[in-house]
């Protein structure tokens, strides 16, 4: 089995690899003039690693060249994808988010339904829910499962004799013990420039606990039959954010600290907990490789220690546009991605930060502690997708609202009600019934 090398060796040469390996190509509708398969991807390091690994392995296996075209990330990239789909100007395949962002692409009008393809049989049901519209399935997963919970400093826990909390009360007790010790901030928050999105984790990462209390929450929320303000289990995320702020558990510079600075503070032991996605492990490995062995991970605790489960984020997927005239080569590549050979290529060429959503695929046994702890939730079957993968309804102002709660500007009750108002416009734009 592979060691921790997949997580470590790729980052050092990532910039050079991307520069040398990713071809900036023109678009194509059905394969390049030279017979190459053209794929549009975002320009993030993580996506580049995964897709270059898949492209190289596929070319070695079949002799078919794969050219990767880069696009920006963020809202600019979203607009590029939407425009190129609407104008029929998309390459053979493209990589994009699963979940609520996919629904905004009008997939029934722009993408090819893959539900009848045999390679979809090995894609897990959890992931299928994130690329489903009605009875149609549109995407093949690329990358690993991501956990939304708490990264924590192992040395702080060992020094203070703390145990991983399985209830919210136990988590708050740990925070108090860390505060009383006076050496480090119990909870890191990063509301600085371009890092406000990190404030959402206490809310978004709590969805497993919401579903444990209200199994029909996602459907009722989508149908405008249930809301954050009138569903106690859903409102709890906002309340937790308020509680850690009022408890004096935050780092003193939370208003200005940035995401990267927060990761550095966690790695250095200047903060004990950082509510975060496990994708942060890739960032930490790229800047301070040795630090990945100093961090652990646990799910956001709820009220039931016997049912302490994890909210997961699904990886992005490859999609086949309806504008691709010769779909055979693209379908063959999708079948390769949805195979153990495809997973092995990703394991060999990119950072391994969690399990795959392809049946039969495995991850290395010797992985950093946080990845191993993430895996235990999947092994136990204690996982549920984040709300954005179960519902297309997500308001644009959530990060601003959660910053206000975490800063003591707005109460949790007000925040839940305000967010319920925030989601209405998007739901109406999507034409959802009941809105």
| 23-53 tens-digit pLDDT | 333 333 344 445 799 999 998 878 898 999 9
Residue 284's domain comprises 146-312+375-429
Is residue 15 over pLDDT 80? Answer: no
Confidence of residue 22 (pLDDT cuts 50, 70, 90): very low
DSSP 147: E
Pair 83, 206 in one domain: no
Tokens 């119990």: give the residue: 186
Mean pLDDT of the 100-105 span:
86
Give percent of the chain with pLDDT exceeding 70: 92
| Range from 1-5, 173-177, 373-377 carrying the lowest mean pLDDT | 1-5
d(CA 228, CA 326): 46
* CA–CA gap between residue 311 and residue 387 (Å, rounded): 9
- Contact assessment for residue 421 and residue 269, using Cβ atoms and an 8 Å cutoff: no
**What are the counts of helices (DSSP H) followed by strands (DSSP E) for the chain?**
20, 13
- Per-residue confidence (pLDDT) for residue 17, from 0 to 100: 37
Same structural domain for residues 301 and 382? yes
Nearest to 334 by CA among 188, 33, 131: 131
Torsion of CA 150, 161, 309, 383, to 10 degrees: 60
- How far is residue 233 from each of residues 207, 208, 236, 334, 387, measured CA to CA in Å? 9, 10, 5, 39, 13
Crossing angle between the packed helical segments 5-12 and 14-21, to the nearest 10 degrees: 70
d(CA 98, CA 314): 7
Kindly report, residue by residue over 237-261, the tens digit of the pLDDT. Answer: 999 999 999 999 999 999 999 999 9
Q: Is residue 368 part of a domain?
A: no
Q: Give dist(CA 424, CA 105) in Å, integer.
A: 19
Task: Give the residue, 422 or 353, on which the prediction is more confident.
Answer: 422
Tokens standing for 38?
């053209």
Structural domain includes residue 301: yes
State the maximum Cα–Cα separation within the chain, in Å, rounded to a whole number: 67
- pLDDT higher than threshold 90 for residue 273: yes
Residues 163, 295 within the same domain: yes
Cα 407–chain centre separation: 25
Residue that wins the pLDDT comparison between 80 and 44: 80
Same domain membership, residue 183 and residue 305: yes
Asked if 403 contacts 420 with a C-beta cutoff of 8 angstroms, the reply is: no
For residues 138 and 151, membership in a common domain is answered with no
Q: 370 in a domain, yes or no?
A: no
* Mean pLDDT value of segment 301-326: 96
Q: Specify if 434 maps to a domain.
A: no
Q: Clarify whether residues 294 and 337 are in a common domain.
A: no
pLDDT value at residue 34:
58
Cα–Cα distance measured from residue 414 to residue 401, given in angstroms and rounded to the nearest whole number: 9
At 130-184, the pLDDT tens digits run 899 889 999 999 999 999 999 999 999 999 999 999 999 999 999 999 999 998 9
Residue 268 clears pLDDT 60, i.e. is over it: yes
- Alpha carbon distance 10, 46 (integer Å): 10
- What pLDDT, on a 0 to 100 scale, did the predictor assign at position 20? 35
Cα→Cα distances 71→76, 91, 107, Å: 9, 12, 20
What CATH number corresponds to the domain at position 96?
3.40.190.10
Query: For residues 298 and 372, is the Cβ–Cβ distance under 8 A?
Result: no
Q: Are residues 29 and 75 in the same domain?
A: yes
Of the candidates 80, 81, 98, 7, the one whose C-alpha atom is nearest the C-alpha of residue 49 is: 7
CB 29 within 8 A of CB 324: yes
Predicted local distance difference test score (pLDDT) of residue 42: 92
Average pLDDT, the chain: 90
Helix (H) or strand (E) holding 274: strand 271-277
Note whether residue 424 is domain-resident.
yes
- pLDDT at position 110: 97
Q: How many CA atoms lie within 13 A of 217 on its CB side?
A: 26
- Comparing CA positions, the residue from 400, 434, 429, 348 lying closest to residue 104 is 429
Question: pLDDT for 142-154, tens place per residue?
Answer: 999 999 999 999 9
Tell me, what's the pLDDT at 11? Answer: 35
pLDDT over 80 at 121, yes or no:
yes
Out of 72-81, 140-149, 185-194, which region has the weakest mean confidence (pLDDT)? 72-81
pLDDT at position 44 is: 82
* pLDDT score of 111 more than 90: yes
Residues 228 and 330 in one domain: no
- Nearest Cα residue to 201 out of 103, 298, 307: 298
Based on the fold, state whether residues 351 and 235 are members of the same structural domain. no
357 and 382 part of one domain: no
CB-count exposure of residue 429 (10 Å: 0-12, 13-18, 19+): exposed
Evaluate whether 82 touches 69 at the Cβ level (below 8 Å).
Answer: no
What is the average pLDDT across 57-78? 92
User: How much is the CA Rg of the chain, to the nearest whole Å?
Assistant: 21
Q: What is the band of 18 on the pLDDT scale with cuts at 50, 70, 90?
A: very low
Number of domains in the chain: 2
Q: Are residues 262 and 394 in the same domain?
A: yes
């Amino acid at each position: 089995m592979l060691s921790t090398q997949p997580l470590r060796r790729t980052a050092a040469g990532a910039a050079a690899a991307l520069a040398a390996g990713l071809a900036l190509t023109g678009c194509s509708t059905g394969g390049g003039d030279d017979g190459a398969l053209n794929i549009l991807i975002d320009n993030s390091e993580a996506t580049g690693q995964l897709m270059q690994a898949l492209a190289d392995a596929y070319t070695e296996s079949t002799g078919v060249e794969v050219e990767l075209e880069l696009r920006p990330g963020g809202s600019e990239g979203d607009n590029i994808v939407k425009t190129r789909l609407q104008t029929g100007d998309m390459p053979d395949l493209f990589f994009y988010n699963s979940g609520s962002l996919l629904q905004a692409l009008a997939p029934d009008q722009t993408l090819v339904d893959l539900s009848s393809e045999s390679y979809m049989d090995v894609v897990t049901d959890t992931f299928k829910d994130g690329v489903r519209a009605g009875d149609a399935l549109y995407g093949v997963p690329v990358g690993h499962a991501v956990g939304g919970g708490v990264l924590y400093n192992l040395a702080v826990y060992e020094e203070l004799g703390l145990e991983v909390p399985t209830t919210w009360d136990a988590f708050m007790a740990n925070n108090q013990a860390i505060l009383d010790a006076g050496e480090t901030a119990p909870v890191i928050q990063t509301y600085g420039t371009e890092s406000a999105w990190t404030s959402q984790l206490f809310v978004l990462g709590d969805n497993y606990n919401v579903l444990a209390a209200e199994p029909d929450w996602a459907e009722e929320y989508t149908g405008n039959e249930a809301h954050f303000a009138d569903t106690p289990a859903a409102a709890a995320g906002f309340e937790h954010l308020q509680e850690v702020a009022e408890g004096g558990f935050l780092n003193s510079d939370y208003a200005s600290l940035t995401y990267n600075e927060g990761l550095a503070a966690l790695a250095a032991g200047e903060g004990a907990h950082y509510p975060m996605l496990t994708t942060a492990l890739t960032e930490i490995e790229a800047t301070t490789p040795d630090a990945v062995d100093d961090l652990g991970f646990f799910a956001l605790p709820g009220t039931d220690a016997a049912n302490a489960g994890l909210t997961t984020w699904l990886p992005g997927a490859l999609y086949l546009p309806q504008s691709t005239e010769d779909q055979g080569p693209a379908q063959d590549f999708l079948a390769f991605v949805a195979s153990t050979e495809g997973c092995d290529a990703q394991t060999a060429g990119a950072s391994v930060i969690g399990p795959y959503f392809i049946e039969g695929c495995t991850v290395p046994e010797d992985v950093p502690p946080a990845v191993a702890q993430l895996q235990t939730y999947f092994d136990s079957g204690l996982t549920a997708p984040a709300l954005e993968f179960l519902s297309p309804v997500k308001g644009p102002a959530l990060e601003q609202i959660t910053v206000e709660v975490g800063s003591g500007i707005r109460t949790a009750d007000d925040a839940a009600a305000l967010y319920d108002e925030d989601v209405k416009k998007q739901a109406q734009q999507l034409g959802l019934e009941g809105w």
